[in-house]
Structure 1
Amino acid sequence: MLDIFTITGPIYLCIAAGFASVRLGLFSAADMRVLGRFVIQIALPALLFNALASRPLTEVIHPGYLMAYAVGSLALLLGALAYARRVQGKPLTESAYVAMGMTCSNSGYVGYPVMLLAFGPLAGVILALNLLVENLAKLPLLFALADAGSHQGQRPSVAQVLKQTAARQIRNPMIVAICAGFLVALVGLRLPDVLSRTINLFSAASGGLALFIIGGTLVGLKVKGLRRQVAMITVGKLVLHPLAVFGAVVLLPLLGLPAVTGELRAAAVLSAAMPMLGIYPLLAQRHGLEGFTAAALLATTATSFFTLSAILWMVKG
């Protein structure tokens, strides 16, 4: 168990440092947004490009992992959406954000540092694979549902949704970095040392800084009055999501589909066990739902210390 805390301990100490820095006035909430833009626009794209471009293509293509992570996540997404709509009677837009909270992991800010400590250099590949599923499957679907629910009587057409999604992804620096990294790996291009080292310097800034930002953004978030909904999202994200992905890892090979092998089996379950993406309340803000989403982010991030430690103990034991 001590080995597990050596992995999770630094993660949450970095988060606590960010929280304390904002709470004590060393940084402001606006500073966290600026630092966050640096991580999203520069550091993580550099990390993703470096992780993919520095390996042979056979080491970065894992169909079994992509399929298991996508199938498990989408199964829970549809289940959560149906439960929120049919059982709880929530509007479509709110139901989409409930499903987002349960199934969209914080692969960059929390997931990558955990994977780096648990699996070493493989962490960059895991991050790239997770972001492909998040940005090309789950988030476009959820954005389309949220927008459809907010247009009473004037729902956007499928063509409009696809056009908006494609435009959003073309401008996403992380997707651009993933595509560029795959292209370099495909052609076997070796980057000049000066360029490679520059990219390494930026990518090295991503891990600790990302966690620091998460801690800073948690300052001021409140759970009061939202406990039931927050508890449902927290259990869905930290328990049901990893169980759904684990089920896909086990069942898909029985159907003759590619299997997830080696450390990637544990990585798929761990990726699903991360708290939801850090910009969850910011995404919900455009539909006026930042209240329960911010509360869910706070509760899930705090609770994940215990659930992640437990899952790490199981998969590493």
Structure 2
Amino acid sequence: MPRPMSLVLSIVAPIFLLIALGTAIGKLRLMPETTGDALTRFVFLVAVPVLLFRTVATAEFGDTSPVWLWASYFAGVAPLYALGILVGARIAGLDRRGQVIAGVSASFSNLLFVGIPIVERAFGHEGLNVLSLILAVHMPTMMAASTLLLERAAALDARGSGDGTAKASVARALAQVGRNLSRSPLAVCIALGFLWRLTGWQLAGPIDEVTRLLSQTAGPLALVALGLSLPRYRIRGALAAPLTVTALTLALQPLIVLLVGSALLPPLWLSVAVIAAASPVGVNAYLFARFFRTGESLAASTILFSTVGSAATLSLWLLAMT
């Protein structure tokens, strides 16, 4: 039996080699520039949604309540969001919208492109079952909270610039979140997976085989797509803020989840929650920054730093949890 570190490296190394392969393909221009975007769309629209549908539809969750899983995971998210906002204000000197972008950068883990592959390799199908419960509430919660905070921040920034009529609309923001989620293949397929469970039917025949084959492409293609996208996240501006946010998201967030979850969760659920919290920053931070045209350099640098740095920190967290 391999020693723990050897086992951890056997899990982590292929993950980051696939990311490096994607980066090399992009840098060497071995494929058209549009390949990365097309591959990302396939992963986001087809492969990962099918994986989540299949996982939720066939999972055995046991007797543990997911409420404690969600409580443990978001116990790490909430303070990191607040600390990220503080970093955006005190270190980066951003406007209120940019401060929220810093909060998103500190707390919105890349569960799709990194979390799914590493949990699947480390903990197998049982681990994916647990991660699917986090994913079921992760995106809706983070999207709703971030949209509301950004709406409020935009209104405050507008007032500060002399527009006294600007105000945040909670109803409008929530309606936008609802529309986005209703069109999200991830949210739709998770919901369909739970509905399938209610029927009591088994996945069988061609449906079982097609969903199995597509599910197997999700992890490798997600990692290559992530690698292809990394060169666009260039290091720009001062480094203090993105380095601070990176340290918070890779070290403090999983530590909080570990401390809280140790009292609430069985070992497998705790391990999955910690590794999910230790995943690098997701692209959503940059998408928000581009849309609101603020905090772009911080979000881009944090995505790059955290993805590269997580090669080491995820290894250490896996070692601690195995």
Please indicate, yes or no, whether the TM-score normalized by the shorter chain is above 0.5: yes
**Residue equivalent to 2:315:** 309
Q: How big is the shift at 1:137?
A: 1.4
How far residue 262 of structure 1 moved from its aligned partner, in angstroms, is 2.4
Q: 1:147 matched to which residue of 2?
A: 151
Tell me the amino acid that sits aligned with residue 202 of structure 1: L
In structure 2, distance between residues paired with 1:310 and 1:304: 9
Q: Please say if residues 108 and 127 of structure 1, whose CA atoms lie closer than 8 Å, have aligned partners that are also in contact.
A: no
2:77 pairs with 73, 79, 87, which one?
Answer: 73
Shift of 1:191: 3.2
Partners of 1:79 and 1:122 in 2: how far apart?
A: 33
Give the superposition deviation at 1:280.
3.0
Cα offset, 1:64, TM superposition: 1.6
Q: In structure 1, which of residues 13, 18, 22 is the aligned counterpart of residue 22 of structure 2?
A: 18
Deviation of the 1:76 alpha carbon: 2.2
Specify the alignment match of 1:204 in structure 2.
Answer: 216
Q: Tell me the residue number matched to 1:292.
A: 298
Residue range with higher mean Cα deviation, 240-249 or 262-271: 240-249
Structure 1 CA distance, aligned partners of 2:63 and 2:113?
Answer: 23
The corresponding residue for 1:256 is: none
| 1:152-185 deviation digits (Å, cap 9, x = unpaired) | 2423322112111111111111111111111212
- Asked if the contact 1:75–1:244 (Cα under 8 Å) also holds between the matched residues in 2, the reply is no
RMSD of aligned alpha carbons? 2.0
Structure 2 residue aligned with 1:186: 198
What does the per-residue CA deviation read over 1:270-306, in whole Å, with 9 as the maximum and x for residues that have no partner? 1100001134323311122322211111111111111
Taking the TM superposition and a 5 Å limit, the aligned residue runs for 1:27-106 are 27-56=31-60, 58=62, 62-82=66-86, 84-85=88-89, 90-106=94-110
Amino acid at match of 2:106: M
Distance in 2 (alpha carbons) for counterparts of 1:83 and 1:281? 17
What is residue 268 of structure 1 aligned with on the other side?
A: 273
Distance 2:89 2:10 in 1: 41
Percent of residue pairs bearing the same amino acid type:
28
Residues 1:262 and 1:218: Cα distance change in structure 2 (over 3 Å): same
Contact 1:70 1:133 in 2 (8 A): no
Residue 7 of structure 2 corresponds to: 3
CA apart distance, 1:89: 5.1
Contact 1:57/1:182 (8 A) holds in 2: no
| 1:227 to 2:231 alignment | no
Give the CA deviation at 1:32: 0.7
TM-score scaled by structure 1? 0.91
Report the equivalent of 1:121. 125
Gaps in structure 1 of 5+ consecutive residues = 254-258
2: CA distance, partners of 1:71 / 1:302: 25
Q: What is the deviation of 1:43?
A: 0.5
CA apart distance, 1:2: 1.3
SS for the counterpart of 1:222 is coil
Of 82-91 and 43-52, the range deviating more from structure 2: 82-91
User: How far off its partner does 1:100 sit?
Assistant: 0.8
Residues 278 and 82 of structure 1: is their aligned pair in 2 closer, same or farther, counting only changes over 3 Å? closer
Q: Distance in 1 between matches of 2:14 and 2:227?
A: 13
Deviation at 1:99, TM superposition (A): 0.9
Q: What is the one-letter code of the residue matched to 2:133?
A: L
Shift of 1:96: 1.0
User: Could you tell me how far 1:28 is from its partner in structure 2?
Assistant: 3.8
Please give the secondary structure, in 2, of the residue aligned with 1:245.
helix
More displaced 10-residue stretch of structure 1: 67-76 or 167-176: 67-76
Q: Which piece of structure 1 moves more, 292-301 or 222-231? A: 222-231
Distance, in Å, in 1 between the alignment partners of 2:110 and 2:200 is 31
SS in 2 for 1:286: helix
Specify the code of the residue in structure 2 equivalent to 1:37.
Answer: R
Between the aligned partners of 1:221 and 1:104, the Cα distance in structure 2 is 16
CA distances 1:245-284 after superposition (whole Å, capped 9, x unpaired):
123214xx4xxxxx21121111111110000113432331
Using the TM superposition, name which of 19-28 and 223-232 deviates more.
223-232
8 Å CA contact 1:21, 1:27 repeated in 2: yes
* Whole-angstrom distance in 2 between the partners of 1:150 and 1:90: 12
